[in-house]
Amino acid sequence: MPVELVEKMLTGDQRALARLVSAVERQSAEVPEIMQHVTPLLGRAYCVGITGPPGAGKSTLTDRLIAHARQQGETVGIIAVDPTSPFSGGAILGDRIRMQQHYLDAGVYIRSMASRGHHGGLSHAAKGVIKLLDAFGKDLILVETVGVGQTELDVVAAADTTVLILVPESGDAIQTIKAGIMEIADLFVINKADRDGAERLQRDLQMMLHVRHASDGWCPPVLSTQAHQDLGIVELYEAITTHRRKLSETGQLTTRRRQNRRQELLDLLQQQLLAALTAQFENGETHSGLLAQVEEGTVDPYTAVQQMLVESGGLWR
């Protein structure tokens, strides 16, 4: 029973949490009921999205951030989203190795999510898990994604603060980094600053961001770290804290979270409508005559869609 499981989780039961996380990951039919019980408890945790190209050092940085947050007395939840691997393979295994020192800490909960079985629902599943960790009482939630596709963009956009991790080699590739991620990043980090080109990239980025953000209230800082040596981590943590304070003081945190909830509703509606309509269509339950006509070219797809929406419950006005 979802209600009992949620109540059990709220007593601090990690196994109940794990079972709820699995239900949300599967997008089980119980998700609406789970969310009904969880929603009144949300909003206490602070969520940080950590994204960047493969191998940039996201997991190593996350590992160091966890350690620092724990020293500050915060409890931490981590979600590592790996949309590229069809199995719990490479990157997730890497996460396990890099974050293993925290697996035994009861104040830390780590969950890896791969794309297998999600059929495009990965970002919804990830957002659901963020909510569970929030309700469970984690102070800080870190979400690691490889910043290459729409799923990651959707997930990091749901975070309160988004951190983009680059490496000195990203300098030449900066044009190819998904533009959306460059635009939503609140903080930039050049990791592997022990390598050549770090300072130049930092200068270039600062200049670019300064021009772009001259008029708004927050110019994203560009930090430099050497995660494997634990260098720059405290500064990164403090920059996240500063951004958080600024968002709270200006009321932007409330605005952002409202927008995110709205977006989540629209995305979910779109996903579920599409799934329902497509299933009807593919099972040949309805519209089979129309399909044949479209296939033959006697009816155009615009008219067909209009008619299908009318038939599917008056969705077309």
Ligand X SMILES: Nc1nc2c(ncn2[C@@H]2O[C@H](COP(=O)(O)OP(=O)(O)OP(=O)(O)O)[C@@H](O)[C@H]2O)c(=O)[nH]1
Q: Total number of residues binding ligand X (CB under 6 A)?
A: 17
With CB under 6 A as the contact rule, which of the stretches 172-180, 187-195, 271-279, 285-293 interacts with ligand X? Answer: 187-195
CA 93 to chain centre: 19
Among 64, 111, 192, 287, binds ligand X (CB under 6 A): 192
Is there binding between residue 190 and ligand X (CB under 6 A)?
Answer: no
- Decide: 81 and 126 in contact? Cβ < 8 Å: yes
Q: Angle at Cα 74 formed by Cα 73 and Cα 76, nearest 5°?
A: 140
Is there binding between residue 57 and ligand X (CB under 6 A)?
Answer: yes
Is there binding between residue 202 and Mg ion (CB under 5 A)?
Answer: no
Span 218-257, contacts to ligand X by CB under 6 A: 226-228
Nearer to Mg ion, 43 or 54 (CB): 54
Residue 163's DSSP bridge partners are 50, 187
Nearer to ligand X, 56 or 133 (CB): 56
**Nearest 10 degrees: CA dihedral of 65, 68, 69, 73?**
170
Smallest CA-to-CA distance from 150 within 179, 129, 176, 127 is with 179
Q: Is 113 helix (H, G, I), strand (E, B) or coil?
A: strand
The Cα–Cα gap between 5 and 2 comes to 5
The Cα–Cα gap between 32 and 250 comes to 33
Nearer to ligand X, 135 or 165 (CB): 165
- Least distance in Å: CB of 82 to ligand X? 7
- Least distance in Å: CB of 59 to Mg ion? 3
Nearer to Mg ion, 60 or 161 (CB): 60
Among 59, 112, 170, 226, binds Mg ion (CB under 5 A): 59
Smallest CA-to-CA distance from 56 within 167, 153, 162 is with 167
Binder of residue 226, out of ligand X, Mg ion, none (CB less than 5 to 8 A by kind): ligand X
The Cα–Cα gap between 3 and 33 comes to 8
Contact string (CB under 5 A) for Mg ion, positions 9-48, x = contact: ----------------------------------------
Among 7, 15, 36, 54, binds ligand X (CB under 6 A): 54
- Least distance in Å: CB of 185 to ligand X? 15
**Residues 6+ away with beta carbon under 8 Å from 34:** 2, 5, 6, 20, 23, 24, 128, 132
Span 96-115, contacts to ligand X by CB under 6 A: 98
> Number of C-alpha atoms within 13 angstroms, CB side, residue 226?
8
Binding residues (CB under 5 A) for Mg ion: these are 58-59, 91
Binding residues (CB under 6 A) for ligand X: these are 54-60, 91, 94, 98, 146, 191-192, 194, 226-228
